[in-house]
Amino acid sequence: PITVKKICCIGAGYVGGPTCAVIALKCPNIIVTIVDLNQARIDAWNSDNLPIYEPGLDEVVKARRGKNLFFSTDVDKAIAEADLIFVSVNTPTKKSGIGAGFAADLNYLQLATRRIAEVSTSSKIVVEKSTVPCRTAESMRTILEANSKPGCHFQILSNPEFLAEGTAIQDLFAPDRVLIGSLQTDEGLDACKALMSVYSNWVPTERILTVGLWSSELSKLAANAMLAQRISSVNALSAICEATGANIDEVAFAVGKDSRMGSKFLKASVGFGGSCFQKDILNLVYLSESLHLPEVAKYWRAVVEMNEYQKDRFAHKVVETLFNTITGKKIAILGWAFKKDTGDTRESPSISIANHFLSEKARVTLYDPQVTESQIWLDLTNYGEVPAEPIKPHVTICESAEEACKGAEAIVVCTEWDEFKTLDWEKIYKNCPRPAFVFDGRLMLDRKALQKIGFSVVTIGSGDRP
C-alpha cells in the first residue's frame, strides 16, 4: 500500500486553501504545502489577514501553519517532494476561441499538469480537485506520460470538492460524502486507497464513495446543475406567486415537506451567484452539445436563462415600483457578496442589479460587510473593461448599511447578511424620503414590522401589495 506523507496542493484559492488546511489539521503526520503563482495571495496566507473570508478558517490555519501546513510560491519544490498532488487551480468559462462563453478554460489545469510532469523525479498520485469536464483525466494522463522522466509513473484520481463558500470549514469537517474516482486497474485502485486513507482520518468510511473516473468527474457537474435547477425552479414559481397572490415561502415549505424532495435549496432569491453554478452548467451545456445531444443542452441552458430572467425581473420591479423612473434617484444596495458569510463576489447578482440601476442613471449607494471597495470597483468596471470615470459620480461605497440607506428612495437587499435583520429600521425610515421603499430580494426581513414602521415593502415571490 502507498502511504501518503507529503501533499502538495497547486492553487491557493477558495478550494485549495480551506481544503488542504483542513487536511493538515486532521492529519498531523502529513506535511501539506499549498502553492500558488500569485505572490500576493501566498503572502496573505502567511499573514494575519488571510486572502479569503470564511468562518472558522483563521483558527484552522493558525493551528497548523508552520507545523505541517505551509504556503509557498515555490511550486516546483513542493511538487518534487510530494507523493500526492491536488490540482485546485481555477477552471473559468472560456472568454474566447472555440466554446467561448460555455466551455471550461483548461489552460491553468494543463499548465499545472505539465509542470508536474516536468519537475517530478519520482512517481506521484495526481488528484483533480478542480471542477472539470468529463474525461479531463484522460488528457491529463496523456500530458503527464508524454512529458515524464523515465521511471516516473502517475496515477490520476478525480476527487471533486463539494464545499459551499460561507460554510466551507463546516462542510469539510463533516462532508455529506467524499467522492473519489479512479481507473479500475490495480494501480488505479491502489491510488484510490491511498487517498481514502487520508480522508479516513476524520471522515466515516461509509461517507467515502469510490467510483470510476468519468462518473466522478460528471457527478460534480451533475450535483451543481441539479442544485441550481432547484433554485431556478423556485424562482420561476416566485414570478407566478407575485402575479397571483400566492407566497413562495409557503409554497416552498409545502413542497419541501415531501420527503422525496427535502427542504433545502428552495429559497427564492434575486438569482443565484457564485463562481460555480453558472460556469458548471454552461460547461455541461457545452459537453452535451459536443456529444451531439442538443435537447440535453437546451434543458440545462434553461436553468441559467431563468436565473438571468430573475435578476432582470427584480431590477425591473424596482424601477416599475418607483413609478417607472429612477433617473437621479438615490438607491441603496445592501450586500455585494454572492451570499452571506463570504467576501466573494464572483457572479454576484448585486453586480447585474447595480449595472441595471446605473444604466437608468440612478445614484447608487452600496454597502457590504466583507467586500472591499477596490473589489467593488473591479466588479463595476468588469475588471477594467468598462471605464470607471463615467460611473464614478453615480456610485458611493459606504461604511455601514445605515449610511448607505440615508436619503435613499429605495433600499434593495441583495445579500442575506444577518446584520440586515437587526438594523435600526426606525432610524433608517426617519432618514428616507416618502414613500420609503424596501425591496427584499432574499425574503429575510420582517415584512410586517417594516410596514408598521411605515415602509412600503416589496418581497420576491409575494403577491401582497407593498
Q: Which CA distances in Å does 243 have to 161, 240, 465? A: 39, 5, 11
Q: Smallest gap, in angstroms, from Cβ of residue 205 to ligand UDX?
A: 22
Size of the site for ligand UDX (CB under 6 A): 19
CA dihedral 427, 428, 430, 434 (to 10 degrees): -160
Binding residue for ligand NAD, selected from 7, 8, 9, 12, defined by CB under 6 A: 12
Q: Which range binds ligand UDX by CB under 6 A, 162-170, 175-183, 241-249, 367-375?
A: 162-170
Q: Smallest gap, in angstroms, from Cβ of residue 421 to ligand UDX?
A: 16
d(CA 212, CA 157) in angstroms, rounded, equals 9
Q: Which range binds ligand NAD by CB under 6 A, 82-90, 95-103, 287-295, 306-314?
A: 82-90
Window 156-195: contact mask with ligand NAD (x via CB under 6 A): -----x-x-x------------------------------
Catalytic residue among 9, 192, 276, 398: 276
Contacts of 28 (CB under 8 A, 6+ apart): 64, 67, 68
- Contact (CB, 8 A) for 321 and 360: no
β-pair partners for 211: 181
Binding residue for ligand NAD, selected from 4, 27, 36, 217, defined by CB under 6 A: 36
d(CA 363, CA 331) in angstroms, rounded, equals 6
Sign, CA dihedral 207-230-216-174, equals negative
The answer to the question of whether 269 is labelled as a binding residue is yes
Taking CB under 6 A as the rule, does residue 440 contact ligand UDX? no
Q: Which range binds ligand UDX by CB under 6 A, 163-171, 290-298, 352-360, 406-414?
A: 163-171
Q: What angle do CA 276, 354, 427 make, to 5 degrees?
A: 115
Tell which positions 269-328 bind ligand UDX, by CB under 6 A: 269, 272-274, 276-277
Q: Which does 16 bind (CB under 5 to 8 A by kind): ligand NAD, ligand UDX, none?
A: ligand NAD
In terms of Cα–Cα distance, which of 79, 258, 55, 256 is closest to 170? 55
Nearer to ligand UDX, 51 or 273 (CB): 273
- Contact (CB, 8 A) for 463 and 237: no
Residue 276 among the catalytic residues: yes
CA dihedral 73, 75, 81, 84 (to 10 degrees): 110
Nearer to ligand UDX, 30 or 343 (CB): 343
3-state secondary structure of 115: helix
Nearer to ligand UDX, 266 or 428 (CB): 266
Binding residue for ligand NAD, selected from 75, 183, 287, 326, defined by CB under 6 A: 75
What angle, 0 to 180 degrees and rounded to 10, lies between the N-to-C axes of helices 213-244 and 277-290? 120
Q: Where are the alpha helices (DSSP H) in 257-324?
A: 277-290, 294-321
Interaction site with ligand NAD (CB under 6 A): 10-16, 35-38, 41, 75, 88-91, 108, 111-112, 130-131, 161, 163, 165, 275-276
Annotated binding-site residue numbers for substrate: 161-165, 220-224, 260, 267-273, 338-339, 442
Which residues of this chain interact with ligand UDX, rule CB under 6 A? 161-165, 224, 227, 231, 265-267, 269, 272-274, 276-277, 338-339
